[in-house]
Structure formats: C-alpha cells, structure tokens
A and B are shown apart, each in its own frame.
Chain A
C-alpha cells in the first residue's frame, strides 16, 4: 500500500514537473492554511476561460465583428492564462491580438481554434493532475485508516 502511495506521489511530482513552471509557482502559494487554493484558482480559470472562449466564438461568428471586444476578451484570457502559468495559451494569445489589430478575421478564427486546442490541453492536464492528487489523498487516507 505504501508503495502504491509512493508511486502515486512520484507520478504526481513527475507530472507536475512536466507541467509548466509557472504552475509550480502557483502551487507554491498553496499551503496548509489554504489547501484548496490551486484547485479553486484553476477552476475559476476554467470557468472564466470557457466563458471567454464562448464569447469569442460568438463575437467572431457575427456579421460585423467588434474587434475591440474580441481584443478585450483575448487580453483577459492572456492575463489569466499567464497567471495560471498556462504559457502556451498565453503565447497563442499574442498573435491572436495582432490579428485582431489587423482585423484579420481568418487569422482570428485560426487563433481561436489554436487557443481552444491549447486550452483543452491545459484543462486535460490539470484535470489529470487533480485526479492524481485526489487519488494520492485517497490512498493516504486509506493508508492512515489502516
């Protein structure tokens, strides 16, 4: 059982290490006093990002596109993703904004696709991470009960 926990732990650290470095920074902010901080922030990020992505999709779908609105959304997305440490999302946001400035609809749509893709990637990764953490927690708990 202990071996299982250890294995899980190693898996978790490896996985965390494989994630972006900023995320580690985020994790550093979490301590005993605020155990759910990361999860909370990340879920806020998910929520916010999904809202923004929807908004973006909707805005870009319209006949006359309000590029300023799109830009504002992308800016938001960029900010929050950089805060989370989702640098790949953030990086795609830069050409997105450039396209927006040039009012390049095709480019914007392409970037939106990319952002969505990156976002899904991040989301999957983070969810996996949380799952692992929960598994670890459960294993630890079961161990301690034993």
Chain B
C-alpha cells in the first residue's frame, strides 16, 4: 500500500516534470518553429546544388568545345602557315632564279615570255599567290636608258607616267595572272615601296599589311623578295645589300580567296568562323580575312599565332563558333531531376517531422489529460474520504444523543421513533464507513497491516457475530479450517475479518434455510480436490447413495443443495484424508520452506442465489442483483466491491459460483505471511484468545449422520485437544462402547463425552429409541458415565425438556459451534478448567496508558500556548512529567545531549523552525553524539540508554491526512498523534516506545 501511495506521488512528480520539459522533449520538438524554415532552406540548398551540377556539366561542355575550337584553330593556322611558307620558299627560289638567269647570264636568259611561262607552270607550287612579278631596280639616272630599252615609260600604280624619283621599281616580268601590273612602278604604291625598302635592307621576304589588291579587289598582302646582282658577302651590311639590289620579286597573296579555298578543304568548316588579322600594330589589328562584324559566338574565341616568315609583321588567326553553344539538355535535365528529387525528399522529411511533432503533441496532451483524469480520480476519492469523515463526526453525535434519549423515560411511541432513528443512523454510519473504506482504497490510502493473528479465532468471532441471526432463521452456520493452515499467520486481521464478515453477512441475509459454511484451506489443495472429484464421479455411487437416504439429499453441511459442489462431502473427505495422510511429513516441510501461505476461503450458502443476468456486476459498487433485492433485503451493495478490493490488496482473488434458488459460494484467496515459531509464541499472547488447555486428552464421540457436519464438530473439538471419533448413529456408539476396542478395530477408548446431533436424536426419538435405553449402566460399573451433549441449531423449550428427559441432562450446545463456546460448555459440564484467568485488561485502557506514561519525562514542543497547555495537561493526566518548549529552537536547546527526556511531542507547523526541521537537527545531534561515543571512550553509562541516543519524537498534528506518515518518518520522527489527544490514539503511538 505504501508502494501505491508512492506511485501516486511519483505520478504527480512525473507529471510536473513532463510539464516542465515539454518543450525540448526531442530534437524535432525543440525546433518545431524552424521546420518551415528548414524546408525553405532545404529547397534553396537543393536549387543551389542542382545549379552547381548544371554548371559543372556545362563547364565540361564548354571546356570540350574550347578544346575543339583551339585544336581546329591551331590546325587551320598551321596549315595556312605551312602553305604560306611553301609559297614564300618558292618565291625565294624564283628570286634566285631571276638573279641567276637574268643577271648572271649575259645576255639575260629570261624575258617576259619565259617568266610568264615558267611562273604559270609552277603556279601549283604557290597556291596562296595570285601571281608573281619581278620589278627591276631602276635609278633615276638610268630611267631614260631603261625606258628606251623596254620601249615603255615607267608608270605609277594609277597608270600614269611616273613622276621623277630617285629610284623606280618597274615591273618587267609578271605572271600572266597579274600581267596588268607590267611597267608599273612598285615604288609608287605606299605599301609596296615600304616593302621593297625593307626587303632589300633585310634580304628576306617581307609582307605588306593587308590592302585591297589591284584587279581582284580582294584583301591581300604582297610578298616582296630582293634580288641581288652579285653575290653578297657572308654577312652583308644594309648598305651593301642596298647596293647589291638588282630588283624585287613580288607576289600577291590573295588571302581572302586563298584562305577560303584552304578552309573549304577542311572538315567542320561550317561551324567555325575564322578571322585572320595583321596585328603588327597591336592597337589596330587589320583584318586580312573574314568579316569584322559577324554574328558569331564571340564569347568563345581562340587565337592562334601565325608566322608568315616576316619577323616585322605579326599575324594571328582568331577562330570562333558560328553559333552560340547549344544549351546542354543533359545537364539541364540532370540538374532538374536532382532538384525535383531533393524537393521530394525534403518534403517527405518535413512531412515526417510535422507528423512526429503532431503525434508528440497529441501524446503530451493525452498524458496531461491522463494525469488530470487520475488526479481527478484521486481527488474524488479524497473528497469522498473527507466528506465521509465529516459526516461521521456529526452522525456520532446524533447516535450518541439518540442513545441518551433512549435512556430517558419515553413513551412507547417515542421510544419506537427513537429506536427507528437510531437504527437508521447506525445503518447510515455503516454505509459511510463502507464508502469511506472504498474511497480510502481508491485513494490508495488504505494500508494493510502485517501483524500475526489467529485466523481461527477470528472466524469464531465472525460466527458469533451472526449466531443470533442464524439461530433465529434456523440456518446452520459452521466454520472449518484445514489443519494445514498455520495457527498464526501474518496479515491484516481487521481487513480479513471485514471480508469474512461481509461475505457471511450477505449469506445470512439471503439465506432462509439450509446452511452457511465457511471453509478455509490452503490454496495448494485444489489438486487433491480434483483427484477427489474425479474419483467420486468415477464411482458414480454417491449420488444414488445420497438419494436413497431420503432425508438428506445432498451431502453438504445441512443436506441442502449448494451451488458449488466442491464443499460436499465427497471432495471434502479427500481434503481431510489428504491432510491426515500427509500430516506428519509433508505439511511440515511445506511450512518451513515457504515464506508465504495462500489460503482459500469459501463461504457457501443455500440462499436465494444471484440471478444469472446480475452475476457479472456483483462486484461493482452499489450494484445489487436488482432493485427488488434492496427492497427486500436492504443493504447498499458496496460490501462486495470493498471485499474485492481488500482481497486484491491481500494478494488474492475473489470469485463466486451461484445458482438461483440453490445458493451461492463465494471463494477467495489471500496471501498471508507465515509466522516464525518463536515470533508467534510471544505475539500469541495479546492477540489470540487462549483456548483452555484443560481438555487435552479427553475422548469424545460425535454422533452425526452428516459427515461434513461431523467434520466441523471434530475440528472444533480437536482444537481443544480432544480426541474425536465420529459415529454415524447411536447404535454404533453403543456397540463400540460395549465391545470396547475389539469390534471397531481401532484404539477407541471409553468416551468421556458423547456429542449427538439434534436431528439425529429426533429421528431416533421418532423411531422409539431412547437414549436412556442405551445400556450404559451395564458396563457402567467399570467406567465413568460419558457426558451426553446435544448439538442443536435451534431448539424449542419443549424439545429441550424432552431432551433432558431423554438423557441429555448434561447440556445442549447451541450452534454455531465455536471452540471457545464448546470449551465453556464443557467446563460447565465437566467442572474443570475454572482457573481461567478473569478480567484480563484490554491493554488500551487509560490505566494502561497511565502505567506506560507514569514518571516519564516528556517534552512538548508547540508554539501555541494553549495547545501546549492542553497537550501538557493530557500527558500529565497520565502521570507524565511534562516539560514545555515554545519553539523548535528551544526544544533543540533542551534536547542538547545529555538530557533526560524519554520522549518528545513535536508540533509540525511552527514559525522559524518547523517540527520536521527541528527533528532533523535533533537526529543529527544524536548521530554525532553516537559516533563520538562509539569512537571515543564510553561516556557515563547512566545517561545513555542502550548506549545510543535516540529520543522518540512524535509529531502532533491536526490534519492526519495531509501530514503523511511518510513525511514524519523521513525526517526521523517515530510516529504521530493527532490533536487533540485521544486516549486510543495516544496509546497506540506511545505503546511502541514504552514497553515496560
């Protein structure tokens, strides 16, 4: 129960914690607000990544494109260059040809015709040259002579007679393709002149910058080679070169058409755009080929250097694609797909996170609701407990007043009213108590005790409680406890008793005839019972046998049919047999081995039973079989539900078998602790009612036709130590007594007592058989006459007289049987065991309290003066020597060691230092002192009892519900008493410490 309390508390704590840590419960929870941002971020990330992918792929493409371009460009440039140099070389060769055959031969071997012929035939060697021509160097002084010799005048480029100059370079030989330049002075053209001057100075081929050629109007350049008259020295100076110059061989490169031609031979021509520039003047590149403004893809160009053999001139080729790079669809698709996949993944993650958040939210909400529901439930129970408690107080007043009222002189009507009121009040109190119990159980406040108690005496008590009622109704009420059940068990006697009382009470209420039978045995027995049962059904005999016997149809206690046939004799017998069979050996072994014992308690009645449709709600509170039940029998219907709770608290289960109009059998199991032998010896004294031992060794014969009933009687007698023999009828008894031990074959003795069942006797009586006729006297001279005792459930006066007359002079024992009652009767009959101690005080009287407290020095700590006085007064009344302290601090001072207080009563709620704190400090002080004492030399033995300081501290508190026992114990208190003091309460608290 304590555990349960804790779980309630821890639940609350957990709930709080959960509230506290609700946010940040998981990673996702803690960033829930960020989730959409995360999603957006993710999308961006994906977009950027796919962009990267696209760029990467695109860059690859571009690089490839560029490589293609550059290789193409280089290839073209190289080709152009090669072709060019081939042409240049050939022109060089022509120059040498001219110098050899025109100048070294005399007369010249070359004339225009030869030259034209030769050049035309070798034109394939100079694919880039549209034509070659030779211009002779003519100084002004030689002009006339020259003109005469050739028959034409030197003309300028514009085909006009050349003006006077220092020098002329008229073309004398020309290829047919360029024959129109014959007689033109090359020096008159700006480019040509420059070329001529440069070439004769360097002795190498030189090129002009591009210009529109005469004739074709194509862009072109002119190549000029100097022709020297005489052989030059190995390293001629510029002057020497100029001097030696005889003429100039020139060729026009029609770059435009030629390059066109060249490119046309190469593959992939269309895709490229090729421009050739003269970049001698780097700031103003002159285009040689191609169009200045073309709509090609200018973003990607490749420049290739061209070396046409003229160091003075620089050329380059610039290539680019015609079209812009096509968009790369693969890259685009890949990137897009990646983006889409990323987007989907992001969305899935987002969705999952949102879902998790939602589920967790729901979970928290549920948990909160659950906590609230539980709290509400606890609150409800607490409310019930409080309210019931509050109702009980005034009800006690009402009942008390009614009792007082009944003591006064009242008229009969008034008395009737008052009695009715009192009965109603009592019923109400009972109901409230039950509700309180239930509420307590539900609130988890009910704690079961674990004290040793005598099960059998409790059962006897319960039986005696109902004996009056059962006797009035003529119901047979009996209890049987198996021998295997230990005498003393550890458990809560009050609660056990409550359950039994409830079940028996119900049975008594609903039973009009037959019997109520309480049976207790070990729960291990069912196995044996099963065996017994199968055997009995196998035999098939018992039913017939029973039926033929007429009077009693069933072998139950009273002969009435019971709902559960487990209690009938056939199985019951096995239980007893089993017990007897294993008596010496196995049961002892079991007893020593196991710490707990599970008991099976059955309460069988032959009442009205429970209607089938109501059977499943029997254990629900406030549910009776139907409304008519409560009309007929009264009661609230809460009892069984409480019993169920209690049984469950005792670690067992409750169940029932019921047949309408036949009866019900409620059975429950409960777990009890076994008691150590030595422990129960000392505990036995105050708790169990001692049975007198004076009957030990007596012999008795029980005469009873019904074996179950006989077993019950036997059980009670056995408890008194009486040896019992059962006989089924009186004849057997007389026979056995007459013939002694011979016929019975047993060691049966001469009986001291003979107990006869009333109904058996009646039947005998009817048969004209008189007990007196039992010829006891015949053998009587040898033996003492056995005492004849009649057992009866109810007996009328006439019957009683008759019985007396019939020989049962000794006594009649009224059922239900109880060991103590039988003992009393036997005492009366046999006149023994009178020495039974009388007037043993119940140890809760004020005299007892007085003896406990007398002379004890007690410190009362309370800040409230009045409370202090009252508490002191109460304690003083019991003879205690009381000292007071008005605060925790003062108490602390007074309890400085060594002190001579025997106990301390401590208020809990005090200003400055409350009771808990004060206690904690006192305990601290004590433990220090104890340590010192143990470590150092022993302090005077007189001041410290048992060598340990520990003053009992009891909390005084007005509200017992809130100031839980746990709290008190936690800070080192030993118990609590409620304010204002009540003797009972005070006794219970104090008795623990002052056991004299």
Q: Which residues in A have some Cβ–Cβ distance to B below 8 Å?
A: 21-22, 25-26, 29-31, 33-34, 37, 40-41, 44-45, 48, 72, 75-76, 79-85
* Residues in A neighbouring B958, C-beta threshold 8 A: 79, 82
> Is B864 a contact partner of A83 (Cβ separation < 8 A)?
yes
Known contacts: A29-B873, A83-B979. The answer to whether A41 contacts B397 by CB under 8 A is no
Return chain B residues, CB-CB under 8 Å to A41. Answer: 866, 869-870, 873
Question: Do B867 and A29 touch across chains, with their CB atoms under 8 A apart?
Answer: no
- Which of A30, A33, A44, A82 is within 8 Å of B979, CB to CB? A82
With A26-B870, A41-B869, A72-B911 already in contact, the answer to whether A80 and B864 are too (CB < 8 A) is yes
Contact between chains at B877 and A82 (CB < 8 Å) = no
Given A31-B877, A83-B979, also A76-B870 (CB < 8 A): no
Once the chains are docked, how many angstroms separate the CA of A80 from the CA of B865?
A: 7
Q: Are B870 and A83 in contact (CB under 8 A)?
A: yes
User: Are A29 and B874 in contact, with the CB atoms below 8 A?
Assistant: yes
| B909 proximity list for chain A (CB < 8 A) | 75
**B873–A48 CB distance below 8 A:** no
Residues of B within 8 A of A29 (CB): 870, 873-874, 877
B389 on interface, CB distance cutoff 8 Å? no
Minimal beta-carbon separation of B339 from chain A (angstroms): 63
* 17 additional A-B residue pairs with CB within 8 Å, beyond A79-B864, A82-B979: A21-B397, A22-B980, A26-B980, A29-B874, A33-B877, A34-B876, A34-B877, A41-B866, A41-B873, A48-B864, A48-B865, A72-B911, A80-B866, A82-B980, A83-B870, A84-B866, A84-B870
Q: Name the contact of A80 in the complex, choosing from B397, B867, B874, B877 (C-beta under 8 A).
A: B867
**Among candidates A33, A40, A79, residue contacting B867 with C-beta atoms closer than 8 Å:** A79
**With a CB–CB cut-off of 8 A, which chain B residues contact A30?**
873
> How many angstroms from the CA of A26 to the CA of B874 in the assembled complex?
8
Q: Is B437 an interface residue (CB 8 A)?
A: no
B873 surroundings in chain A (CB, below 8 A): 26, 29-30, 34, 37, 41
User: A25 contacts B980, CB within 8 Å?
Assistant: yes
Q: Which residues of B846-873 are within 8 A (CB) of A?
A: 862-867, 869-871, 873
A137-B877 Cα distance, complex, nearest whole Å: 22
- Which residue from chain A places its CB closest to the CB of B396 in the assembled complex? A21
Chain B 864-895 against A: per-residue CB contact (8 Å), 1 yes, 0 no?
11110111011011000000000000000000
| CB-defined contacts of B866 to chain A, threshold 8 Å | 41, 44-45, 48, 79-81, 83-84
Residues in B whose Cβ lies below 8 Å from that of A76: 863-864
Of A37, A40, A45, A83, which contacts B980 at CB under 8 A? Answer: A83
How far does the alpha carbon of A139 sit from the alpha carbon of B657 in the complex, in Å?
Answer: 72
Bound CA–CA A84/B979 (angstroms): 11
Most central of A22, A31, A41 by chain B CB within 10 Å: A41
- Distance (whole angstroms) from the CB of A126 to the closest CB of chain B: 13
- For the complex of A and B, list the 4 residue pairs with the smallest distance between their C-beta atoms, beginning with the closest: A80-B866, A79-B864, A83-B870, A83-B867
Selected A-B contacts with CB under 8 Å, 20 pairs: A22-B980, A26-B870, A34-B877, A41-B870, A41-B873, A44-B869, A48-B866, A76-B863, A76-B864, A79-B866, A79-B958, A80-B865, A81-B866, A82-B958, A83-B866, A83-B869, A83-B870, A83-B871, A84-B866, A85-B980
Shortest Cβ distance from residue B877 to the other chain A in the assembled complex, whole angstroms: 5
Report chain A residues within 8 Å CB of B980: 22, 25-26, 82-83, 85
Distance to closest chain A CB from B847 (angstroms): 13
Query: Which residues, 937 to 996 on B, are CB-close (under 8 Å) to A?
Result: 958, 979-980
Q: What CA separation (Å) do A84 and B867 show in the bound complex?
A: 8
User: A25 vs B580: C-alpha distance in the bound complex, in angstroms?
Assistant: 57
Which of the listed residues B863, B867, B876, B958 has the most CB atoms from chain A within 10 Å of its own CB? B867
Which residue of B397, B863, B869, B877 is within 8 Å of A40 (Cβ)? B869
**Chain A residues whose C-beta falls within 8 Å of the C-beta of B876 in the assembled complex:** 33-34
* A125, chain B: closest CB distance, angstroms: 16
- Distance in angstroms from A85 CB to nearest chain B CB is 8
A48 to B886, CA, bound (A): 14
Q: How far is the CB of A58 from chain B (nearest CB, A)?
A: 18
Nearest Cβ in chain A — how far from B703, in angstroms? 56
B877 close to A44 (CB less than 8 A): no
Nearest B-chain residue to A86, judged by Cβ: B866
Most buried by A among B865, B874, B877, B979: B865
- On chain B, the residues within 8 Å of A83 by CB distance are 864, 866-867, 869-871, 979-980
Q: In the complex the two chains form, what is the Cα distance from A21 to B911 in whole Å? A: 29
Please measure, in the bound complex, the distance between the C-alpha atom of A47 and the C-alpha atom of B715, giving whole angstroms. 67
A34 to B870, CA, bound (A): 12
Chain A min CB distance to B351 (Å): 50
Distance (Å) between the CB of A72 and the closest chain B CB?
Answer: 6
Nearest neighbor of A77 in chain B, beta-carbon distance? B864
Bound Cα distance A81, B980 (Å): 11
- In the assembly, what is the distance between CA of A72 and CA of B911, in Å? 8
Within the complex, the shortest CB–CB distance from A74 to chain B, in Å, comes to 12
Contacts of B864 in A (CB 8 A): 48, 76, 79-80, 83
Q: Across the interface, which residues of B come within 8 angstroms of A48, CB to CB?
A: 864-866
Name which residue of chain A comes closest to B911, CB basis. Answer: A72
Q: Give chain B residues whose Cβ lies under 8 Å from the Cβ of A37.
A: 873
Q: Closest Cβ of chain A: how far from B203's Cβ, in Å?
A: 121
List the A residue with the shortest CB-CB distance to B877: A29
A72 to B914, CA, bound (A): 13
Distance A83 CA – B907 CA, assembled complex (angstroms)? 13
Which chain B residues border A72 with CB–CB below 8 Å? 911
Give the complex CA separation of A31 and B874 in angstroms. Answer: 11
CA distance A81 to B402 in the complex (A): 28
Max chain A C-beta neighbours (<10 A), residue from B397, B866, B869, B909: B866
* Cα A29 to Cα B983 with chains together (Å): 10
A contact residues around B911 at 8 Å (CB) = 72
Tell me the smallest distance from the CB of B884 to a CB of chain A, in Å.
Answer: 12
In the bound complex, what is the Cα–Cα distance between A75 and B862 (angstroms)?
13
Closest Cβ–Cβ distance, residue A80 to chain B (whole Å): 3
Question: Complex formed: what's the CA distance from A75 to B907 in Å?
Answer: 13
Q: Which residues of B lie under 8 Å from residue A25 when comparing CB positions?
A: 980
Rounded to whole angstroms, the CA-CA distance of A80 and B866 in the bound complex is: 5
Least CB distance from B810 to A in Å reads 49
Query: Nearest chain A CB to B626's CB is how many angstroms away?
Result: 42
CA distance A104 to B829 in the complex (A): 78
Residues 657 to 671 of chain B near chain A (Cβ within 8 Å): none
* Identity of the chain B residue whose Cβ is nearest the Cβ of A21 in the assembled complex: B397
A34 to B875, CA, bound (A): 12
Residues of A within 8 A of B862 (CB): 79
Cβ-closest chain B residue relative to A68: B911
Instruction: Please report the C-alpha to C-alpha distance between residue A34 and residue B878 in the assembled complex, in whole angstroms.
Output: 12
Binary CB contact string for chain B from 276 to 314 against chain A (1 if under 8 A, 0 otherwise): 000000000000000000000000000000000000000
- A44, B862: Cα distance in complex, Å: 14
When distances are taken between beta carbons in the complex, the residues of chain A under 8 Å from B865 are 44, 48, 80
A37 vs B875: C-alpha distance in the bound complex, in angstroms? 12
Residue in A closest to B866 when the chains form the complex, CB atoms: A80
**Chain B residues in 8 Å Cβ range of A33:** 876-877
Q: From residue A35, how far is it (CB to closest CB) to chain B in Å?
A: 12
Question: How far is A21 from B398 in the complex, measured between Cα atoms in Å?
Answer: 12
Q: Whole-angstrom distance from the CB of B854 to the nearest CB of chain A?
A: 12
Hey, which chain A residues are within 8 Å of B867, CB to CB? 79-80, 83
> Residues 517-558 of chain B: 1 if any A CB is under 8 Å from the residue's CB, otherwise 0?
000000000000000000000000000000000000000000
What residues of B have a CB within 8 angstroms of the CB of A79 in the complex? 862, 864, 866-867, 958
Across the interface, name the chain A residue whose C-beta is closest to B907.
A79
Bound: A41/B869 CA distance, A: 6
Least distance between A19 CB and chain B CB atoms (Å):
13
> How distant is B99 from chain A, measured CB to nearest CB, in Å?
131
Q: Tell me the complex Cα distance, A85–B870, Å.
A: 11
A26 contact set on B, CB distance < 8 A: 870, 873, 980
Chain A: which residue is nearest B871 at the CB level? A83
CB distance from A119 to the nearest CB of B (A): 13
The A-contacting residues of B in range 899-925, CB under 8 angstroms, are: 909, 911
Q: Which residue of B lies closest to A46 (CB)?
A: B866
Docked pose: A34 CA to B869 CA in angstroms = 12
Q: Which residues of B contact A84 (CB under 8 A)?
A: 866, 870
Complex: A79 Cα to B886 Cα, angstroms: 14
